[in-house]
Amino acid sequence: MVRVAGASIGEKEIICLELKINETKEKVKKIMCLGIPMKIVEIKNNYVALAETMGVNRIVRIDMVPGVAAGDYVLVHAGFAMEVIDTENALERIKLLESMLQLREEA
């Protein structure tokens, strides 16, 4: 079972993912916080930008990634762009997130 909570991705909440795994009749609980890959769509000013992922637009803080430009992919956690990542890495992470959401819907 996958439970999702945190920043909105459509109707799904996705910053902190709580995974419950059934291993040999025991439930193991693991929690991880995620950086969500988002593409910078528009720089609003020196502090904020419009970013998009999986069809969802959000205003994110860009203070921590000086020099970020429209078209760059960044990892966003708690509304802050934490680092710039390459396109291939971003698309791979988005694909993984979509797989996790698909598993949740099937559960």
Tally of CB atoms within 10 A around 65: 20
Across the chain, mean pLDDT equals: 77
How many whole angstroms separate alpha carbon 105 and alpha carbon 100? 9
pTM over 0.85: no
* pLDDT above 70: percentage of residues in the chain: 68
Any idea which of 32-36, 38-42, 73-77, 78-82 has the lowest mean pLDDT? Answer: 32-36
Domain housing 82 = 2-100
Let me know if residue 80 belongs to a domain.
yes
33 pLDDT tier (thresholds 50, 70, 90): low
Instruction: Work out how many domains the chain is built from and give that number.
Output: 1
Let me know if residue 25 belongs to a domain.
yes
Let me know if residue 107 belongs to a domain.
no
Let me know if residue 106 belongs to a domain.
no
Let me know if residue 54 belongs to a domain.
yes
Residue 76 pLDDT > 90, yes or no? yes
Let me know if residue 45 belongs to a domain.
yes
**Closest C-alpha to 48, from 35, 58, 39, 37:** 58
Question: CATH number for the domain including 15?
Answer: 2.30.30.140
